[in-house]
Structure 1
Amino acid sequence: MTTQGLFRSALLDPSSDMPVTLTDGAGRPAGRRFSVYRNNVAVGLTEALIDGFPACHALLGDEMFRAMAGAFLRAHPPASPVMARFGEALPEFMDAAPQLSKMRWIGDVARLECALRQSYHAADGTPLSPEDLAAIPPEALGDTRFGLVPSVRVLLSDWPVLSIRRRALDPAAPQAQPGAEDVLILRPVYDPEPHLMTRGDLPFVESLRRGATLAEAAASAGDDYDPTRLLTLLMQSHALTAPES
C-alpha cells in the first residue's frame, strides 16, 4: 500500500497504528498530533451527517446516530471532495444494519433527506413564466409538451416516509399513519419542499419527464384524474419549463 493509502487507512480506523513514515516538523514521530487529527476528521464527518440527515438524527437519538455514523464513515469514506455528496450510501447502509431491523422505514427517511439535498444542489432551470403560459392558445394546451427543471425529484416509499420525517422534526406534527407515501420534491426558490403525491400524480409527473404532451400525461394518470391541482403546484414552484417549439 502506498504512503498515501496507509495514511488514509489509519486516519479512518482508530485501531490502526500511525504510519511509521509520518513525522512532525522536527522529524519526530507524529504520535499524539496524528491521533488528534484523526479524531477531528471523524468528528467533522459525523457532524456533516448530522447536518445532512437531521430527521434520522432525531429518530435515532444523538448517541445511536453518532455510533452508526462512526461505522458508516469507516465503511464509506468520502469519495469526492464535494461534501454535499457524502452520505449518499447511508440509506443502503441503514437498510443492512442489523441494529435497525425494527426500523426498516428509516432507510427511506434517509433517501428522502438525500433527495432533498440533491434537489438543493441541482442545476438551475429556466421555469415557465406566466407570460409563456398565456401565449399558448387554450386549444393547443393538450398538445403542448412541458418540461421539468433539474431540481425536481420523486421518491417512492412503502412507508409513510414524509409523515415520519415531519413528525421527527416537529413533535407537534400529526402522528404518521401506516401506509405508503410517494413524495414530490420541488425547489420554488432556494430550499426544496417535499409534497405528498396523491393518486395519479406519479404517472402524470413521470409522463411529463419523458416528454409526453399534457393530454398524454393526464391520460396516463387515469380517466378521472384532474391535473389542475398538480399543475398549479408545479407552476407556483417554478418547476415547469417552457414548451418545446
Structure 2
Amino acid sequence: MSPQDHFAAALRDTSRPIPPGLKTWNGSDPAQRFAVHRNNVRVALVDALAGTFPVTRCLVGDDFFRAMAAVYATQHLPRSRVVALYGDTLPEFIDAFEPAATLPWLGDVARLEHARVQACHAADAEPVLARHVSQALALGEALADVRLGLHPSVRLLRSAHAVATVWAAHQTEDGEPEPFDPDGPEDVLVVRPSLDVQVLRLPPGAAAFLAAAGQGSPFGDAAAAALADAPAFDLPTTLGLLLVQGVITDLILPEETP
C-alpha cells in the first residue's frame, strides 16, 4: 500500500493508527491534528450525502440519516471528483442496513434520487425532429428494424414499491410531505431533456420497451419485449410520451445501421 493509500485509509477508518512519519510545524501532537482532518472528511462526506438524498433523509429523520451516512462514509470513499455523484452505492448499502429494514422501499427511493443527480450531470442532446419521426413511420413494416437513440440522461428504475409516488409526495412548496402509500410497483423514467430533471411514472410495458431500445434492440424487438412484460402495453401512448418528453434523440433507419 502506497503512502497515499495509508493516509486515505487512516482518514476513513478511525481504528487505524495515524500514518507514520507525520509531523506538525509547531511540534503539537500529530494525532490530534490528524483527528481534526478525519472529522472534517467525515462531516463533508455526510453533508454531501444529505444534499444528494434529501427525500431519503426526510423519510428517516436527520439524525438517523447522518448516523447511517457516517457508517457508509467509513466504508466508501468518493470515486469521482464530482462530489454530487458521491453515494452511487448508498442504495445497496441501505438495502443491507439492518436498522432501515422496516422501510424496504428506502433503498429504491435513494436509487431514484441518485438517478436524478446522474441525469442532471449527463450530456446534452437534441430531441429527434418531427420530420424524422414522419420518415420512420412511413417505412411500414421496415419500421420494425429502426433503432432508437435515447437521451444520455435517461435513467430507468423498476421498483417493487411506489418510489415515484413517495418522491413526489415530498416535492411540496412548504417542505411538508403529503400523505403517500409506498405499496405497489412502479416503473420510473428519469430524464433531463432541457434544463429540468423530470421524474415520470411509466405506463405498463414502457420500461421494458425503453430498456430494450437502450440496449440497441430494433423497434420491433423492443415492442415485443414490452408486450411480453405487460400485455396491456400501449405503443402509441408510450411513443407519444417519449417524444413529448424529448427522450428519443435519434432514429437510426435500417440503411444506416452498421
Q: Is the 8 A contact 2:148 2:250 kept in 1?
A: yes
| Residue 57 (structure 1) aligns with | 57
Q: Is the 8 A contact 2:151 2:193 kept in 1?
A: no
SS across alignment from 1:154? strand
Where do 1:192-211 residues align within 5 Å?
Answer: 192-211=197-216
| Residue 139 (structure 2) aligns with | 140
Q: Give a deviation string over 1:207-243, Cα, whole Å, max 9, x none.
A: 3324445455444433764323322222222211222
2: CA distance, partners of 1:218 / 1:209: 12
Q: Is the 8 A contact 2:148 2:251 kept in 1?
A: yes
Using the TM superposition, give the Cα deviation of residue 20 of structure 1 relative to its aligned residue in structure 2, in angstroms: 4.5
- Residue 117 (1) aligns with residue 114 (2): no
One of 158, 171, 181 as aligned partner of 2:160: 158
Q: Is the 8 A contact 1:58 1:169 kept in 2?
A: no
One of 227, 230, 233 as aligned partner of 2:235: 227
SS across alignment from 2:132? helix
Where do 1:19-34 residues align within 5 Å?
Answer: 19-26=19-26, 28-34=28-34
Using the TM superposition, give the Cα deviation of residue 139 of structure 1 relative to its aligned residue in structure 2, in angstroms: 2.9
Going from structure 1 to structure 2, the CA distance change for 1:94 and 1:138 (only over 3 Å counts) comes to: closer
| Residue 41 (structure 2) aligns with | 41
1: CA distance, partners of 2:240 / 2:179: 26
Unaligned runs of 5+ in 2: none
Q: Is the 8 A contact 1:119 1:185 kept in 2?
A: yes
1: CA distance, partners of 2:31 / 2:12: 16
Using the TM superposition, give the Cα deviation of residue 138 of structure 1 relative to its aligned residue in structure 2, in angstroms: 4.4
| Residue 82 (structure 1) aligns with | 82
- Residue 72 (1) aligns with residue 72 (2): yes
1: CA distance, partners of 2:232 / 2:2: 64
2: CA distance, partners of 1:99 / 1:182: 26
| Residue 237 (structure 1) aligns with | 245
Q: Is the 8 A contact 1:128 1:241 kept in 2?
A: yes
| Residue 190 (structure 2) aligns with | 185
Which range moved further: 177-186 or 209-218?
Answer: 209-218
Using the TM superposition, give the Cα deviation of residue 157 of structure 1 relative to its aligned residue in structure 2, in angstroms: 0.8
2: CA distance, partners of 1:39 / 1:177: 36
1: CA distance, partners of 2:177 / 2:2: 53
1: CA distance, partners of 2:211 / 2:14: 46
* 1:140 maps to amino acid: L
Using the TM superposition, give the Cα deviation of residue 145 of structure 1 relative to its aligned residue in structure 2, in angstroms: 3.1
* 2:10 maps to amino acid: A
1: CA distance, partners of 2:182 / 2:107: 18
TM-score by length of 1: 0.86
Superposed CA RMSD: 2.5
TM-score by length of 2: 0.82
Using the TM superposition, give the Cα deviation of residue 146 of structure 1 relative to its aligned residue in structure 2, in angstroms: 2.6
SS across alignment from 1:235? helix
Going from structure 1 to structure 2, the CA distance change for 1:196 and 1:19 (only over 3 Å counts) comes to: same
Going from structure 1 to structure 2, the CA distance change for 1:226 and 1:14 (only over 3 Å counts) comes to: same
SS across alignment from 1:56? helix
Equivalent residues, number: 244
